[in-house]
């Protein structure tokens, strides 16, 4: 039994977490159901709150608000847990492939060998891009950001390819087209930005191997696939495949609640992911390392500046909004990062700074006490740079990995009978009613 007393007109809240919550407002008592999830999370169901009381809740950033019930991903920030459909992320990173993980997220179960093979065949079959779509790339400005291009191109796919249908219920072909073609479109955007001709995928390569092939192969220097790089990319995409109701996933659900086509919803998710506080965080890590290099800061100086609240300098890639302990994805990403760095043949001052910064940050008591450990974005940014991925492609790499999660969330949301069109309320703080003032009576 809990008693929480608040200021204002709400006199008190008494909660019995096993049955219902009793809310007392202005002396009147209201009973609200308590919902319990499969992992023990508890939520007060306030769907009838405004109708019963005339009150709404306010929660900027929705940190304490559940927008849906979901059976896709479970995460516990206090204990550092992340699971897809119940399977720990550590097991998927060690044993699974990105394609198999995508199937798991969307279909809710691991595929049989026949199902996995069929899925891989479809991904290869759908990897080519309509020639009319390829011509769109020529009309983007040369300095257009790849995320803006990708968002626009995904939205344009609706005009070229069929929408969701009931013809093939097993891993719908619309989803497979998106997963396959987003990879192709991303590689083409990079090639065209370099003034190179696009490279077509190879039927004998895996999903991850084909992306590296389409990115880096050219007629002068054929790309030699490194299997460790392929595995590192595979793990990177598995770790980013879903992460509960984050900004971009919530965007996909909100836009999808209007019953728009899946291409439009995914395009919106890509735009949401673009922000530096979300998918752009790995890119921000590289910019921070460049600042340390360009300002000729020593690592102790950089850490001292980061501790100073009056200094705008921040250590990007340390800490996480949800994880209050070590990010479980970061432990796995660090192994892949170390693997790729061990194969790096040429000198890179930024990578040297990153390694020294990681060691110093992990040993610093200030960061330890505040739980500011390197997160997945820190190691991801370093690893992608070491693999030769340009910085402006980092968020695109994130988007490719997150696509299966977006599709799974869109599918779950669109088939949930409890879901309605998203329409948040607000607390109005503007002027009260006032008369219109004629032009000749207005004062500056």
DSSP 419-431: -----------S-
For residues 52 and 95, membership in a common domain is answered with no
- Alpha carbon 260 to chain centroid, angstroms: 21
Is residue 435 a part of any domain in this protein?
Answer: no
Q: Are residues 369 and 329 in the same domain?
A: yes
Backbone angles phi, psi at 4, to 5 degrees: -125, 120
3-class DSSP assignment, residue 77: coil
Average pLDDT over residues 272-283: 89
Q: Is the pLDDT of residue 178 over 60?
A: yes
Residue 410 has pLDDT above 60, yes or no: yes
DSSP assignment, residue 320?
-
- Decide if 115 is inside a domain: yes
CATH code assigned at 340: 1.10.580.10
- Map residue 340 onto helix, strand or coil: helix
Task: Tell me the C-alpha distance between 237 and 242, whole Å.
Answer: 9
Residue 336 lies in a domain: yes
Identify the pLDDT of residue 18: 54
* Whole-number Å distance between alpha carbons of 300 and 217: 41
Per-residue pLDDT band for 407 (boundaries 50, 70, 90) equals: very high
Instruction: Kindly state whether residues 243 and 320 are assigned to the same domain.
Output: yes
The tokens 């530096």 sit on which residue? 276
- Claim to verify: residue 85 and residue 174 sit in the same structural domain: yes
State percent of the chain over pLDDT 90: 67
Q: Are residues 193 and 172 in the same domain?
A: yes
Residue of 217, 242, 327, 377 with catalytic role: 377
Same structural domain, 84 and 215: yes
Lowest mean pLDDT among 18-27, 119-128, 231-240, 304-313: 18-27
Tokens of 253: 């659900």
Q: Do 187 and 110 belong together in one domain? A: yes
Q: Indicate if 287 and 368 belong to the same structural domain.
A: yes
Closest to 391 measured CA to CA, from 146, 174, 80: 146
Helix (H) or strand (E) holding 24, with range, is strand 20-25
Residue 434 lies in a domain: no
Residues 283, 409 within the same domain: yes
CATH number where 51 lies: 2.20.28
Residue 166 is a catalytic residue: no
Structure tokens at 300: 């102790």
Contact (Cβ atoms closer than 8 angstroms) between residue 157 and residue 150? no
The tokens for 428 are 């109005």
Backbone angles phi, psi at 91, to 5 degrees: -70, -40
Are 287 and 148 members of one domain? yes
Residue in the structure block whose two tokens are 């939205």: 155
- Please state the pTM of the whole predicted model: 0.89
pLDDT value of position 67: 92
Q: How many separate domains does the chain show?
A: 2
Catalytic residue among 217, 243, 320, 327: 320
Considering only CA atoms, which of 247, 115, 123 is closest in space to residue 175?
A: 123
Residues with Cβ within 8 Å of 258's Cβ and at least 6 positions away in sequence, in order, are 421, 422
Among 57, 89, 104, the domain-final residue is 57
440 located within any domain: no
| Residues 26 and 123 grouped into a single domain | no
- Alpha carbon 362 to its chain centroid, in Å, reads 25
14 and 138 belong to one structural domain: no
Q: How confident is the model at residue 1 (pLDDT cuts 50, 70, 90)?
A: very low
Residue 439 forms part of a structural domain? no
* Inter-residue contact 11 to 25 (CB < 8 Å): yes
CA–CA separation, 98 and 115 (whole Å): 14
63 located within any domain: no
pLDDT value of position 88: 98
Domain range for 347 is 68-417
Identify whether the C-beta of residue 413 lies closer than 8 Å to the C-beta of residue 259.
no
Q: Is there a domain that residue 402 lies in?
A: yes
For the chain, the average pLDDT equals: 89
């Amino acid at each position: 039994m809990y008693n929480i007393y608040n200021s204002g007109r709400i006199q008190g809240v008494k909660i019995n977490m096993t049955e219902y919550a009793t809310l007392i407002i202005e002396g009147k008592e209201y009973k609200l159901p308590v919902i319990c999830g499969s992992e023990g999370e508890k939520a007060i169901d306030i769907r009838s709150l405004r109708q019963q009381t005339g009150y709404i809740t306010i929660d900027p950033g929705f940190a304490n608000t559940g927008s849906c019930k979901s059976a896709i991903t479970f995460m516990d920030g206090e204990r550092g847990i992340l699971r897809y459909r119940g399977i720990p992320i550590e097991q998927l990173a060690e044993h699974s492939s990105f394609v198999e993980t995508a199937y798991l997220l969307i279909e809710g179960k691991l595929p049989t060998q026949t199902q996995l093979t069929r899925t891989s065949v479809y991904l290869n079959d759908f990897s080519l891009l309509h020639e009319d779509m390829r011509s769109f790339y020529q009309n983007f400005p040369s300095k257009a950001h790849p995320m803006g291009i990708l968002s626009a191109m995904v939205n344009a796919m609706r005009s070229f390819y069929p929408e969701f249908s009931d013809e093939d219920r097993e891993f719908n072909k619309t989803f497979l087209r998106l997963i396959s073609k987003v990879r192709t479109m991303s590689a083409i955007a990079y090639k065209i930005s370099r003034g190179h001709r696009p490279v077509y995928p190879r039927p004998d390569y895996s999903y991850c191997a084909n992306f590296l092939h389409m990115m880096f192969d050219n007629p002068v220097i054929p790309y030699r696939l490194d299997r460790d790089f392929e595995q590192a990319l595979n793990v990177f995409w598995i770790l980013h495949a879903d992460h509960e109701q984050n900004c971009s996933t919530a965007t996909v659900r909100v836009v999808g609640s209007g019953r728009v086509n899946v291409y439009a919803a995914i395009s919106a998710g890509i735009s949401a992911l673009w922000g530096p506080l979300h998918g752009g965080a790995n890119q921000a890590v590289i910019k921070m390392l460049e600042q340390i290099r360009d300002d000729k800061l020593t690592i102790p100086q950089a850490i001292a500046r980061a501790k100073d609240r009056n200094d705008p300098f921040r250590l990007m890639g340390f800490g996480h909004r949800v994880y209050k302990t070590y990010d479980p994805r970061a432990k796995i990403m660090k192994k892949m990062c170390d693997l790729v760095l061990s194969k790096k043949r040429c000198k890179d001052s930024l990578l040297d700074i990153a390694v020294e910064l990681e060691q110093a940050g992990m040993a610093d008591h200030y960061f330890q006490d505040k739980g500011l450990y390197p997160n997945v974005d820190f190691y991801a940014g370093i690893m992608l740079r070491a693999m030769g991925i340009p910085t402006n492609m980092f968020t695109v790499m994130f988007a490719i990995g997150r696509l299966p999660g977006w599709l799974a969330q869109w599918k779950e949301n669109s088939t949930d009978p409890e879901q309605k069109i998203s329409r948040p309320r607000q607390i109005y703080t503007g002027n009260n009613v006032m008369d219109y003032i004629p032009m000749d009576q207005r004062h500056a």
